[in-house]
Amino acid sequence: MSGPYEDSITAIEAAWTAGWPAPVGVPVVWHQNTNDQTPAAATYQHWLHVAVEHTSERLVAFGGGRAANERELLGSVVIRAMAQRGRGEATLLSLLDQALAVFRSRRDGALSFLGTSVIDQPGASADGIWWVRSGIAVFTYRFRG
């Protein structure tokens, strides 16, 4: 049995699959409770980490009867682009831009993206191997409940 949270993640993953250009040699790891391992620096120069973060749920319209009110989930897709230290930022920033472009001005049925933004604080991974730049794509997901 699925619910609106799972349904929103499924819709976001479908939007990603339809829009991501999938550059060769750039793995994408989804955060949703997977067993995916961090890609090895010996094998990959760049990779992406994508996480869906739900922030709140609200009632938009009522009067449809029990469990038939219009509701929406608010949240964001957080994208972290990783590059091996010493590789520079040109490819890293290009990958982040391509990833955010998947969601810019997109509406797919119940899923709407409201905007994207780059997070202006670059950093390094805890192990020091990867340089990290991040961005977010804010969304709403409408459902009846």
Structure confidence by residue, pLDDT tens digits, 59-78: 888 877 777 889 999 999 99
**Confidence (pTM):** 0.89
Ranges of the chain with pLDDT below 70: 1, 33
pLDDT of residue 61: 86
Phi and psi, residue 23, nearest 5°: -60, 140
Q: Write down all domains in the chain, each with its CATH number in brackets.
A: 4-144 (3.30.2000.10)
CA distances from 30 to 4, 16, 41, 64, 79 (A): 19, 11, 18, 35, 10
Which residues face 73 on adjacent strands? 57, 141
- pLDDT value for 1: 60
- Predicted pLDDT of residue 52: 97
